[in-house]
């Protein structure tokens, strides 16, 4: 199951449709809190995580997953790209960092690679090494 966490309803719907059309089961969450609460019932195979959300950001979710030693691959998506954000999430172990708008195939490839354990540090189709 792929968890999609984004505060924008239209983005969540579009990403969920994309995942389902590619053969994945997908659940979507409107907030980081909703997603974290869901982990008591079921762990996803991968999470597609927006960085900038109110209250509990994608950064917060990623830190919480690490603090709880949850080995859930994270594909970060953001509309507010900065070198600092990219370095922070990749340094914390994100499998990929993608800028919105996201190419469907690039996202599907990033999710497939994350699930298979192939963390690339991918950034919208261009591979960049994780920061030191």
How confident is the model over 23-80, as pLDDT tens digits? 999 999 999 999 999 999 999 999 999 999 999 999 999 999 988 888 899 999 999 9
Instruction: Domain of residue 22: give its range.
Output: 2-116
Report the candidate in 114, 78, 105 with the shortest Cα–Cα distance to residue 21. 105
- Report pTM: 0.88
Is residue 131 assigned to a domain?
no
Q: Which residues make Cβ contacts (< 8 Å) with residue 131, sequence separation at least 6? A: 87, 90, 91
- Position 128 scores a pLDDT of 36
Instruction: Report the percentage of the chain scoring pLDDT > 70.
Output: 89
Tokens 């195939």, located at residue: 105
Is residue 121 assigned to a domain?
no
Is residue 40 assigned to a domain?
yes
User: How far, in Å, CA of 98 to CA of 34, rounded?
Assistant: 22
Is residue 23 assigned to a domain?
yes
- Position 50 scores a pLDDT of 97
Higher-confidence residue of 72 and 125: namely 72
The answer, yes or no, to whether residue 129 has pLDDT greater than 60, is no
Is residue 132 assigned to a domain?
no
Tokens 């008591």, located at residue: 40
Is residue 129 assigned to a domain?
no
Q: What is the mean pLDDT of the chain?
A: 89
CATH number of the domain to which 63 belongs: 3.40.50.2300
| H or E element, residue 108 | helix 104-116
The answer, yes or no, to whether residue 10 has pLDDT greater than 60, is yes
């Amino acid at each position: 199951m792929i968890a999609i966490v984004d505060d924008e309803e239209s983005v969540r719907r579009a990403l969920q449709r994309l995942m389902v059309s590619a053969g994945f089961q997908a659940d979507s969450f409107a907030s980081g809190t909703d997603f974290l609460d869901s982990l008591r019932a079921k762990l996803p195979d991968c999470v597609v995580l927006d960085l900038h959300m109110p209250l509990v950001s994608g950064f917060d979710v990623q830190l919480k997953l690490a603090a709880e030693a949850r080995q859930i691959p994270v594909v970060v998506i953001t509309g507010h790209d900065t070198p600092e954000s990219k370095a922070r999430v990749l340094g914390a172990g994100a499998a990929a960092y993608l800028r919105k708008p996201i190419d469907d195939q690039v996202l599907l490839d990033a999710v497939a690679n994350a699930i298979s354990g192939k963390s690339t540090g991918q950034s919208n189709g261009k591979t960049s090494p994780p920061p030191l």
